[in-house]
Amino acid sequence: MSRYDLLIKGGTVVLPYHGEVRADLAVRDGKVAALADDIAASEAGEVVDAAGKVVLPGAVDAHFHLGIYRDLALDAYEETRSSLVGGATTVLSYFRTGSHYLERTGPYKEIFPEVLDRVAGRAWTDYGFHLAPMTVEQISEIPFLVEEHGVTSFKYYMFYKGFDLAANSRDARAFTMGDEYDLGHLYLILEQVAAVQKARPDLRLSLSLHCEQSELMRVFIDRVRAQGDPQTLRAYHEGRPPLTERVAIGEATTLASHTGTNVNLLHLSSQEAIEAVVQARGSYGGADMRAETTLHHLCLDHDTLDARGGLGGKVNPPIRTKADNEALWRRVADGTVDWVASDHACCMEAEKGEELWPARPGFGGTALLYPVLFSEGHLRRGLSLTRVAELASANPARAYNLWGRKGSLAVGFDADLTVVDPGLTQTVTTERCLSGQDHCPFEGVDLTGWPVTTVVGGQVRFRDGDVVGEPAGRYAHRA
């Protein structure tokens, strides 16, 4: 019998916070069992030749939306399959009650087990959930969700506050199917998360925030529509300008600093937004405020997408400008941004349509997580491979209570990894992403540095463009 189940031989292994090392990596019982200069191929049941390649910890795609527009089980199968292409081995999906997802409301004690049941056995990656308390009753369930289901991160959507943009209505209750959804509701969530944190100092409990200020959005959207209502992504950006992010970040961080709650500031899209985070950190000293941006906010701009036509790039917050792209990259490089995620939400082209405001926001991107960071971050802008691994894997693992299992290739961690060919240049196509989505805003972009093998729990699940075996992802209980 072989000493090891799997051997990754001859590659450059990237260890977050430490550096790169030429080493062989051996796997036993789903864990990293050894790192050594030379491990004989005869000692392993299966060998992956990684000579000339880079071995990275499997990405933790910390911003995902399973089942937002499609059947949850189908999405779990097809969209985590897409994650393997980008080297992601764990996804953390947002879920809320109300419109979309399961199209219902009620206590999470009843609904969340149904969510877990629908995903079980369908996911190619390991997976977890962030939950959004949309009602006061759901806020009271936070202690139960932490202890019973290991959910340690929650969410509040600031742009739902008092205004249903899709219906152009001043009342968002029909959409949220919840209670009064205002800053008072946000404050109650912050208080509850902080209270549970005191009882569980071993965990990092946190509230994730979608920061766009809804009352200002209403004013700017009305102005855009009064100017002839152009059906462009530039118009969408002008209707939800960076000012709305900056104001919302100010509101949220002021409240969080008062309650002492750890917060995650999601999908920062603009220079104004990331500088507002810098300002808040400076103003509130030791407050734990972590910053996330996305692949599309780093790389896409509305003028380029508008020249191609269509509304496939509609997303919240909007795609902004090339200047915003570069401002975000600078803050990725200097450490201000903690992690990069995809904000993956499978949305078909037919659901975009030709009218801007009713078009559904969001699109897939998980298949491009390491390819973008390697090509645009490492090769083009000089980010170290260690920093790339921290942005994609280690930092989100630490933020969301997965560290020790996920986020590194140290001995004892889960054998979740991806082998990247640093010289492989491929053009992004919808087909290459292996998603159920029928379009891709990155279509036609050339990227260098693609995963050629992705391993989940010690099992090869992706090799040379195709999935291998069957989905065997496990639920990540984080408490």
Can you tell me the distance from the alpha carbon of 373 to that of 375, in angstroms, rounded to the nearest whole number?
6
pLDDT at residue 322 tops 50: yes
Query: In the chain, what are the domains?
Result: 58-399 (3.20.20.140)
d(CA 265, CA 276): 11
Q: Is the peptide bond before 143 cis (omega within 30 degrees of 0)?
A: no
pLDDT score of 1: 79
**pLDDT at residue 160 in the model:** 87
Residue 362 has pLDDT above 80, yes or no: yes
Residue 167: what pLDDT? 46
- Decide: 8 and 403 in contact? Cβ < 8 Å: no
Model pLDDT, residue 75: 98
Tell me the C-alpha distance between 18 and 395, whole Å.
13
- pLDDT band with cut points at 50, 70 and 90 for residue 165: low
pLDDT at 148: 98
**102: phi > 0 → left, psi -120 to 50 → alpha, else beta; which?**
alpha
Which comes out higher in pLDDT, residue 181 or 419?
Answer: 419
| pLDDT score at 164 | 53
| Predicted pLDDT of residue 180 | 80
Q: Residue 342: pLDDT above 90? A: yes
Q: Tell me: the pLDDT tens digits for 210-267?
A: 999 999 999 999 999 999 999 999 999 999 999 999 999 999 999 999 999 999 999 9
Average pLDDT value over all residues in the chain: 96
47: left (phi over 0), alpha (psi -120 to 50) or beta: beta
- What are the beta bridge partners of residue 208? 155, 264
Q: Is the pLDDT confidence value at 176 over 90? A: no
Least confident among 68-72, 176-180, 420-424: 176-180
Q: Does the pLDDT at position 171 exceed 80?
A: no
Mean predicted confidence (pLDDT) in 148-176: 75
How large is the average pLDDT for residues 35-52? Answer: 98
In the predicted structure, residue 189 carries a pLDDT above the cut 80: yes
**Residue range 309-322: mean pLDDT, rounded:** 98
User: Is the model's pLDDT at 174 over the cut of 80?
Assistant: no
Whether the per-residue pLDDT at 68 is higher than 90: the answer is: yes
**pLDDT value of residue 382:** 98
Exposure b/e, 57-75, CB count within 10 A at least 16 = b:
bbbbbbbbbbbbbbebbeb
Share of the chain above pLDDT 70, in %: 97
Which whole-number Å values give the CA distances from 386 to 15, 102, 383, 390, in the listed order? 6, 39, 8, 6
Map the chain to HEC letters. CCCEEEEEEEEEEEECCCEEEEEEEEEECCEEEEEECCCCHHHEEEEEECCCCEEEECEEEEEECCCCCCCHHHHHHHHHHHHHHCCEEEEEEEEECECCCCCECCCHHHHHHHHHHHHCCCCCCEEEEEEECCCHHHHHCHHHHHHHHCCCEEEEEHHHCCCECCCCECCCHHHHCCCCCCHHHHHHHHHHHHHHHHHCCCCCCEEEEECCCHHHHHHHHHHHHHCCCCCCHHHHHHHCCHHHHHHHHHHHHHHHHHHCCEEEECCCCCHHHHHHHHHHHHHCCCCCEEEEEEHHHHHCCHHHHHHHCCCCCCCCCCCCCHHHHHHHHHHHHCCCCCEEECCECCCCHHHCCCCCCCCCCCCCCHHHHHHHHHHHHHHHHCCCHHHHHHHHHHHHHHHCCCECCECCCCCCCECCEEEEEEEEEEECCCHHHCCCCCCCCCCCCEEEEEEEEEEECCEEEEECCEECCCCCCCECCCC
Alpha carbon distance 18, 293 (integer Å): 23
pLDDT given for residue 99 in this prediction: 84
Give the residue-averaged pLDDT of 325-340: 98
Predicted pLDDT at 177: 67
pLDDT of the residue at 172: 64
Residues 37-44: what's their mean pLDDT?
Answer: 98
Average of per-residue pLDDT across 109-124 = 98
CA separation, residue 9 to residues 47, 64, 198, 309, 459 (Å): 7, 32, 45, 46, 15
pTM of the model: 0.96
